[in-house]
Amino acid sequence: MERIKQTMRTWKVPIGKREMSEKIEELQKRESKYILTQPLYQNYWLQSIQGAPTKPGKGSSVVDTTLSLAGLVASSILNSSSSQFSPKDSSFIFWHEIPEVKQSGLLGVVTAQELKVQEAMFEVITSEASYLRSLTVAVNHFSKCPELLDTLTLTDRHTLFSNVLEVKDASERFLLDLEARLEENIFLRDISDVVLRHCTDFRRVYIPYVTNQMYQEKVMQQLMQNVEFVQVLKKLEEQPVCQRQLLKSFLILPFQRITRLKILLENILMLTSPECPITESVGQAVEAIREIVHECNENIKMMRQIEELVSLEKQLEFASTKSLALISRTRFLVKEGELDEIFGPESGHKTGNAAKSIYLHLFNDLLLLSRKDDGRFSVLDYARTSKVRADCFEAKSLVFVLFLSENHKGISRKFIVGAGNEYEMQEWVAAISTLQRAECEPPNKATWCVEMSESDHSTVCKFSDSEA
């Protein structure tokens, strides 16, 4: 009933009590026409990324299946069990194979291009049915299994299955609306408006699920050391309903599906001409899904960055300096590495030239200097990047000078640092100099890298991760 009420809320046309009652009764009777006719989504997706044709006819369009960060996470896990896929598991159906299409005589009048568009739209429907079938297994067979739940703590249950039930319900509402559109007219005029109507629902369920992915992976690894959990899980995975697919292959599907939906819509847009009435709406749907994918990717990066900070903070020792709260939602690690601190007349020391290892952690807003010993870091000093300057010591030298105009004590300090080679030295100088200039600008959560041109040895900073 809650699922039906949520569906009603997606309709923008005011509905009276009587009409509401009739709609609820109608939805209660509705079931997907294609969910049981399609293969598990793992099989559909593996065929799609391995280049198997998903549309009939010569000259079928080729879609760029480059995956986003979230999709690549899914790819690495699914590919680990790709050998479990068997061609006999597939039962894909195409638009031109629907009995109603054959009986209508449409195949004798539609152009080759119109057929491609119909197949592209229909793939959104059948792939969603395949996806919902797999989600149903994840929910009903695994997340609601009493024996499996008995082996998990409440925290592990929440982390492992997250809001997969909400994801499934959102998929079911979407699929039923898509199938309702097909029932209205077997010749699909447009489905992008259906996609747009469900984007709010997608954002609500997909972003939290994808953000939880990193913790889901960790819990899964820990649970695999739990003998009781493993025994129950193995029995569940051996059931015919799973078709030799592992639990983890079901849990990662939402990461991949939202990206695949974007690709399918892009394919429809590519097949429609600029003057086509639906082109604008399809473009809006592509952009709406792209924004959700982008936000998923950004959340994954942010959570990983925070995890890096949490891990590093546990390794820091502030024996000779004031302690520092390292964890921040806007802070991320740009570069780290072990160099040599040079002691000599230039550094203010009266002893002869000597060197000692020094470890640098360069964040977007902070430079941390420490000594590394047995996996721990004893902090020597730190300063905001806006208060740090890096200058080459002299021509063709592997040494550069770090000027801290205001360190954690509010005083200036100088470090003479030696690199292993010229490339490494210029990388550090360029990274520090760039961050010094950029700190006053709005923070960007992407990771930075520094490249040096082989032709002129000039340095330049750029982002290492491109947007989806």
Q: Which residue has the tokens 């002691």?
A: 343
For the stretch 203-224, pLDDT in tens is 999 999 999 988 999 999 999 9
Characterize the bridge pairing of strands 448-452 and 459-463: antiparallel
Tell me the C-alpha distance between 24 and 26, whole Å: 5
Average pLDDT over the chain, rounded to whole? Answer: 81
Q: What is the reported pLDDT for 213?
A: 87
Count other C-beta atoms under 10 Å from residue 230's C-beta.
13
Q: What percent of the chain has pLDDT over 90?
A: 62
Q: What is the reported pLDDT for 58?
A: 40
Q: What is the reported pLDDT for 35?
A: 80
Own/partner contacts of 54-58, CB < 8 Å, gap of 24 or more, are: 54/92, 54/123, 55/94, 55/116, 55/119, 55/120, 55/123, 56/94, 56/96, 56/119, 57/112, 57/115, 57/116, 57/119
Distance of CA 167 to the CA centre of its chain: 16
Characterize the bridge pairing of strands 354-363 and 333-343: antiparallel
Q: What is the reported pLDDT for 86?
A: 42
- Is 364 or 394 the better-scoring residue by pLDDT? 364
Residue 395's pLDDT band (cuts 50, 70, 90): low
Tell me the C-alpha distance between 384 and 436, whole Å: 9
pLDDT above 70: residue 13:
no
pLDDT above 70: residue 44:
yes
- Give backbone dihedrals phi and psi of 357, rounded to 5 degrees, phi first: -60, 140
Q: What is the reported pLDDT for 3?
A: 45
pLDDT above 90: residue 113:
yes
Q: What is the reported pLDDT for 48?
A: 75
Q: Which residue has the tokens 């002869």?
A: 352
pLDDT above 90: residue 422:
no
Average pLDDT (255-284) is: 94
Tell me the C-alpha distance between 388 and 72, whole Å: 37
- Is 451 or 330 the better-scoring residue by pLDDT? 330
Taking only Cα atoms into account, the Rg of the chain, rounded to an integer number of angstroms, comes to 28
